[in-house]
Amino acid sequence: MPLRKTFVSITAGVALLSQALLAHAELPDFTPLVKEASPAVVNISTTQKVPQRGSSSGMPDLEGLPPALREFFEHGVPGMPGFPGMPGSPEGPDRQREAQSLGSGLIISEDGYVLTNNHVVANAEEIIVRLPDRSELEAKLIGADPRTDVALLKIEADDLPTVKLGNSKDLEAGEWVVAIGSPFGFDHTVTAGIVSATGRSLPNENYVPFIQTDVAINPGNSGGPLFNLDGEVVGINSQIFTRSGGFMGLSFAIPIDVAMDVANQLRTEGKVSRGWLGVVIQEVNKDLAESFGLERPAGALVAQVMENSPAKKGGLQVGDVIINMNGEPILTSGDLPHLVGVLKPGSKANLEVIRDGERRNVTITIGTLPGDDELMAASGNPDTQQSSNRLGVTVAELTEEQKKAMELEQGVVINEVRNGPAARIGLRRGDVITHLNNRAIDSVETFQEVAEDLPKNRSVSMRVLRQGRASFITFELSQ
């Protein structure tokens, strides 16, 4: 090999090695953080009365595990239904037995207030907090909020070590974060990773903009703190995505800003009040964006406005696409509940919406989220029927009783679904069509007229009400 090429190769190799060593040198040292923060992280165990039923089918294979681990699993793993001692565990006839669950928590005040997850202490008859010095204290449940999965406990102690609270709003994807907790009962286990995303919406968790990380979180970590590199708590570890029951690289934490707001309300008011608009919304996909004349698929599409709700009183309409609230852009429908939920009842929300292709501003006075706002729909057998051959449905006028039951002023009910576009998009008998191609449907005659004039080879929107839930769907007609 020529000398010049050899020199170039050696130089390149040295450069790569230097880069690797430099990258290694820049990796964070978590030791000071762990030493400072660990004293304020506690283990939480609870005792519950749970029913036993059936036989021990579904029991995981514990052969090969060390005796201590086997005993732990046999006593139950929190958050993993199907294990003995947990709600839903299939063992024994209908009897009552004590079960223990394990989780983590963080001390937020020197006089003994402790934050954890609601699911760690739910239905507990006794809650025990174990401090780092191995002392155990019985805790009182001050309050819990299932919607955010936050619980506030109180232990009788003074001069306790406390965590430093950070600002979760400053978090960015790619930042290093550290979790300390008690996975599977192993106290003060430290795991580290990065922030994968912020503001994540999860199914049935509308009021928490979760922090997603790749930090190893397992049963028992629930309720424990998530720290940034400054040793500040930025989140409370709450959920994992798993197919195996263990860590798979997708962990979710409640932002500490959200958790502390809930804790302060529980401490002072004994309950949590959160803002409410009174709308059912859905994501704006590419087809809906085209149907509503939007430049891109973004915003929260209003599929339903509840009667006597703040949205109804403020003039929000079905078909409005909310793209901004109080200066915060609404990129996905999941952004809206996060922003509304933190508003205080009685405060103002300035919404920017797109209605009939034009931007409008709507001001809403925020209400208080009801305890149970589920709406039930009813369907009957109206007399007057007509059909549209293009869509393949037979529809009828709504009776006054149906309109009253569903709190509707207009719409037609589907009596029969035939082969055709309606069947392909999943329409069913009893569904109520209130809008078609951006037009309100106030009668069978209007429905027939709009259906006959539907464009071909272009996305068309339809608003459908099913069992009290409204949504927009899109379809295309080829003929």
pLDDT digits (tens, 9 = 90+) for 265-290: 999 999 898 899 998 888 888 888 88
Q: Given a cut of 90, is residue 155 above it in pLDDT?
A: yes
Query: Which residues are CB-neighbours of 154 under 8 A, at least 6 positions away?
Result: 112, 113, 114, 139, 140, 142
Any idea which of 223-227, 321-325, 384-388 has the lowest mean pLDDT? 384-388
At 349, list the tokens: 């929300």
Beta strands in 381-438 (DSSP E): 385-388, 393-397, 412-417, 432-436
Q: Of 119, 379, 435, 461, which one is the catalytic site residue?
A: 119
Question: Catalytic site residue 338?
Answer: no
- Higher-confidence position of 233 and 475: 233
- Residues 16-68 have pLDDT tens digits of 555 554 455 578 999 999 999 999 999 999 987 655 544 443 344 444 444 44
Question: Catalytic site residue 75?
Answer: no
pLDDT band at 103, cuts 50/70/90? very high
Q: Of 222, 251, 387, 388, which one is the catalytic site residue?
A: 222
**What local confidence, expressed as pLDDT, does residue 144 receive?**
94
pLDDT band at 433, cuts 50/70/90? very high
Lookup result for tokens 């078609």: 436
Contact 377, 366 (CB under 8 A): no
**What local confidence, expressed as pLDDT, does residue 389 receive?**
54
pLDDT band at 195, cuts 50/70/90? very high
Length of the chain measured in residues: 479
Distance of alpha carbon 387 from alpha carbon 262, whole angstroms: 52
Contact 366, 325 (CB under 8 A): no
Question: Catalytic site residue 149?
Answer: yes
**What local confidence, expressed as pLDDT, does residue 23 receive?**
52
At 247, list the tokens: 């860590």
When the pLDDT of each residue in the chain is averaged and rounded to a whole number, the result is 81
Q: How many C-beta atoms surround the C-beta of residue 369 within 10 A? A: 19
**What local confidence, expressed as pLDDT, does residue 74 receive?**
45
Rounded percentage of the chain residues whose pLDDT exceeds 90: 43
> What domains sit in the chain, N to C, each tagged with a CATH number?
41-154 (2.40.10.10), 164-268 (2.40.10.10), 275-368 (2.30.42.10), 385-475 (2.30.42.10)
**What local confidence, expressed as pLDDT, does residue 65 receive?**
44
At 468, list the tokens: 């009290």
The whole-model pTM stands at 0.65
pLDDT band at 9, cuts 50/70/90? low
- Residues 421-432 have pLDDT tens digits of 787 788 887 889
